[in-house]
Amino acid sequence: MSKSRQIFVDDIDVQIVRKRIKNLHLRIYPPDGCVRVTAPMSIRDDEVRFVVMERFNWIKKQQLRLSSLPPAPSCKMLTGECHHYLGQPYTLEVIERSGRQQAVLEDSTLLLYVRPGTDVDKRSLLLNGWYRQQLKILLPELIQKWEPVIGVNVADWGVKKMKTRWGSCNIGARRIWLNLELMKKSMDCLEYVLVHEMVHLLERYHNRNFKAYMDQFLPDWRLHDEVLKREPSLRYV
């Protein structure tokens, strides 16, 4: 069993994964230089911050090196690729077999069971279907959690791939849509986008009132907003 948490050390976004292990491990993952610390269950956040600060210059150097590399080739859905789930990197392992096709998480590996000869498009479709299924499992509980806090009722919600939006809200229908890509981000980012869209049921525009509501319900919302802004092609409506 493992527990995941996101913290910020200066301007470095750090994903902490606590497991039943003895030693702490710090790794930097391409292509964007995300920092992941795997730590024993007993390690506190301030201890992780200390380790990150000790290696701050080295981390920055590695992130700069990764940012200068040429763009990675397009995803080919092959064993060895890095794919993200709830902010954590997983190594893809494609296993060809007859029978049921499915995606399964196993420690730091994302297993993709496919039939022999399955092409890249069908593999991508299978993985996206799994992402969609996981998000649909998470959303009802999150909505139920936030409705009494914000004081609104979500009449309907859905998941879809969106090229320019992390989420959207149809105020009249009280319907919320979330981008499937959020399953690759941290749980904190996912929850932030959901709260953001639910707050639109109180305030349509991104004005002073909207920000005041966000400060009230989710005081650290700006941290998660900065993370999502690193993908400038996506925005809110």
> Could you state, in chain order, the average pLDDT of each consecutive group of 10 residues for the chain (237 residues)?
78 88 86 84 93 94 81 78 92 94 92 95 95 96 97 96 88 95 94 97 93 95 85 55
Distance CA 142, CA 193 (A): 11
Cβ contact 56:11 at 8 Å: no
Interval 103-155: pLDDT, tens: 999 988 999 999 999 999 999 999 999 999 999 999 999 999 999 999 999 99
- In the chain, which residues fall in CATH 3.30.2010.10? 133-236
E strand or H helix at 184: none
pLDDT given for residue 237 in this prediction: 47
Rounded CA gap, 187 and 198, in Å? 16
Tell if the pTM clears 0.75, that is, is over it.
no
Rounded Cα gap, residues 7 and 5, in angstroms? 7
> What pLDDT score does 68 carry?
77
- What CATH number was assigned to the domain covering residues 133-236? 3.30.2010.10
Q: Please classify residue 122 by burial: count the beta carbons closer than 10 Å to its beta carbon, then call 0-12 exposed, 13-18 middle and 19+ buried.
A: middle
Give the H or E element holding residue 64. helix 56-68
Which pLDDT score, from 0 to 100, does residue 71 have? 61
Look at residue 86 in the predicted model and tell me its pLDDT: 93
**231/151 Cα distance (integer angstroms):** 31
Rg (the chain; Cα; Å): 19
CA–CA separation, 21 and 33 (whole Å): 24
How large a percentage of the chain has pLDDT more than 90? 66
